[in-house]
Amino acid sequence: MSRQSDGGCRFSVTTMAVFHTAHLRVHSEVVDRFRERILRHARASLDAEPGCHQFDVQQETKDPTLFLLIETYADEAALEAHRSSPHYRQFREDVKDWVVERSWWFWTKLGPDVVS
């Protein structure tokens, strides 16, 4: 929804962005290598994928084996493009023996909406 200059509101149909988070836990002996590899993957995703709008990587302060990924894609097609990209497939192959736990969630934005 956006506000018109006359104070009214107009509604438009837009594709919904996909907001995705994931927790990845890795073996303690590969933390440094995983950190370097996930950061390289995040940068490649942002650089190569026009539909990837956010790819943040966080590391838990007290448990360095736990990583939080925060990703935003333009729409479902952009997420699918990410998952079928060569750099994603290579990342998954590179870390397949390092990751011991993987959980992910998809989120629906509830608000607040910014009206300009």
| 8-56 per-position pLDDT tens digit | 444 444 568 999 999 999 999 999 999 999 999 999 999 999 999 999 9
Does this model's pTM top 0.85? no
CATH of the domain at 20: 3.30.70.100
Report if residue 11 sits inside a domain.
no
Ramachandran category for residue 114: left, alpha or beta (phi over 0 → left; psi -120 to 50 → alpha):
beta
Q: What is the pLDDT of residue 14?
A: 55
CA angle 8, 12, 15 (to 5 degrees): 150
Range of the domain at 63: 16-107
Phi and psi angles of residue 23, each rounded to the nearest 5 degrees, phi first: -105, 130
Q: What is the pLDDT of residue 116?
A: 62
Domain count, the chain: 1
Q: What is the pLDDT of residue 25?
A: 98
